[in-house]
Structure 1
Amino acid sequence: MLKPNIKAVFFDIDGTLLGLRSKAIPDSTIEALALLKAKGVRILVSTGRSYEHAKFLASYGFDGFITFNGSYCVDGEGQPFFRHTIDVGDIRILHDHLNTIENFPVGVMTTEGSFISDITDDVTATFRLLKLDVPHAKPFANALETEVLQLNLFVDENKESHLINNVLKNCESSRWCPEFIDVNARGISKQIGMEQFFSRYKLIPEQTMAFGDGGNDIQMLRTAGIGVAMANAGDPVKAAADHVTDTTEEDGIWNALKRYGVI
């Protein structure tokens, strides 16, 4: 195997940097991140989380953050340099749907913070599982008064299809957690976030590597020169990758970086 000329590595958080079971970064991954930095390889976070829920990783020396699945990019100094919001018309239609047809919890991620329309037992259990604080509860109508970067809809797959096809027509969805979907403006993905960093750091896809495990990672894995799926990923994610590594807890990131001679 020829040793690739990797200049940047993109990492998903949940199920990738953080183990699904441990909810922690293993020592092997921490050592791998330090080795990448020492070699001058840029390390970048790529997540469906908000920057507020991802910036705890800044202490590991990350050079930037793709957040909200590509809707909001932040540099290594914590300064945002790219954002793309959801069409306000879609927000209005969803507001009417919630009030007249069917109500369900909706997380709203804005340029000024996050809130959720209703805190149910399922919502509380999901955030506890992810070890995240539950956002403050506010009526969904507040979303009409601000710029929305991403929505989290607590619905099953059947309702997801109906909502994307009939309500949020200018949006698309992805699912990395069984309990809810991420909704972003149509055309937005982690690939779009990667492209912002390609331009910023004068990279080409062939010089990059990416690690992920969720449906929202598929385009990222396909875009990178080397896409690596974690062992806990679903079949569609694995099919999009060049290599399937072990789980986070089984040193999957370390093993793949060593396999390709990046560290």
Structure 2
Amino acid sequence: MIPFKAVAIDMDGTFLKDDKSYDKKLFSELLNKMKERNIHFIVASGNQFERTRLDFTEYWKDMSFVAENGMYLVDDGKDLSYEQLDRSLVEELVEFMAQRPELTPALCGKENAYLEKNSDSKFVKMMKYYLPKHKIVDSFEQLPDDVFFKFTVDVPKEKTLSTVDEINEKFAGRVFATSSGFGNFDLILPHVNKAVGLEKMLASWNLTLDDLVAFGDGGNDLEMLKAAGLSYAMENGSDEVKKVADKIAPNNNDSGALKVLADYLM
């Protein structure tokens, strides 16, 4: 008997290999098996929805998405729900970061992500991959007309943790800074994460987190792995993630998550 009715999977370092590819033949076969058994497949990512949609061009309408670390939910090709940063809070954060020239922010919205034209060129090049739906603006002093999900911020590696701590103290209860690796962090609502988004999506199908198997490798997967009825940390994942997961999946470069699913479904 298959011990889950839904699958939630992180992208970078989990589903994707380091070169951003995945075994499309195996995935297509597994997605068909899941559809036959009425098992939902959910991408749970900190990435922009458009980035993950492009990773699944042929399949995305048969899948569901918990994007932007739980801020934006898409099911059956349609918006299910979204959370947003209050506009006045966005303005405060812009002012705060403007006083710290070592910080380079990208503002992630529902219609587009936004990058300032004077941003560091290396940061812009990296963000163009992760934020394929984006616009370059003169500055964030004049905010575009959009719904805002989060900031992604580039920072010198040695200042990552101290900056995260400073923001979490200054904006406590209003915004939460979570590091996605030394050199960058996200600013999101403190009550939102992948587990919160997944719980909401599962409820729309009359399922609970107990019905879920989840796969992840990094810090923004912790809540999801703790909450899922069955959880797998990737072999290449952090020690923190491995401590909270029920089991270990093979390395992402060996299609580890897909191989685990194949053992259950094929």
TM-score tier after normalising by the smaller chain length: 0.7 to 0.9
**What is the root-mean-square deviation of aligned Cα atoms in Å?**
2.4
After superposing the two structures, state which structure 1 stretch, 162-171 or 243-252, moved more.
162-171
Q: Distance in 1 between matches of 2:130 and 2:72?
A: 22
* Residue ranges of structure 2 left out of the alignment (5+ in a row): none
Which residue does 1:44 correspond to in 2? 42
Q: Distance in 2 between matches of 1:193 and 1:144?
A: 26
Check if 1:23 corresponds to 2:20. Answer: yes
Q: Is the 8 A contact 2:113 2:133 kept in 1?
A: no
Q: Distance in 1 between matches of 2:59 and 2:251?
A: 20
SS in 2 for 1:141: coil
Q: Taking structure 2 as the reference length, what is the TM-score of the superposition?
A: 0.86
Structure 1 pair 99–195 and aligned structure 2 pair: CA distance change class (3 A): same
Q: Is the 8 A contact 2:115 2:136 kept in 1?
A: yes
Residue 7 of structure 1, aligned match among 2, 5, 8: 5
Residue 248 of structure 1, aligned match among 246, 249, 252: 252
After superposing the two structures, state which structure 1 stretch, 59-68 or 4-13, moved more.
59-68
Q: Taking structure 1 as the reference length, what is the TM-score of the superposition?
A: 0.87
Which residue does 2:123 correspond to in 1? 123
Deviation at 1:24, TM superposition (A): 0.4
* Letter of the structure 1 residue corresponding to residue 177 of structure 2: S
Structure 1 pair 63–99 and aligned structure 2 pair: CA distance change class (3 A): closer
Identity of aligned residues (%): 21
Deviation at 1:191, TM superposition (A): 0.9
Structure 1 pair 234–73 and aligned structure 2 pair: CA distance change class (3 A): same
Check if 1:166 corresponds to 2:164. Answer: no
* Residue ranges of structure 1 left out of the alignment (5+ in a row): none
After superposing the two structures, state which structure 1 stretch, 99-108 or 80-89, moved more.
99-108
Which residue does 2:74 correspond to in 1? 74
Check if 1:96 corresponds to 2:92. Answer: no
Q: Distance in 2 between matches of 1:134 and 1:158?
A: 31
After superposing the two structures, state which structure 1 stretch, 239-248 or 133-142, moved more.
133-142
* Letter of the structure 2 residue corresponding to residue 152 of structure 1: T
Which residue does 1:218 correspond to in 2? 222
* Letter of the structure 2 residue corresponding to residue 222 of structure 1: K
Q: Distance in 2 between matches of 1:75 and 1:243?
A: 28
| Number of aligned residues | 257
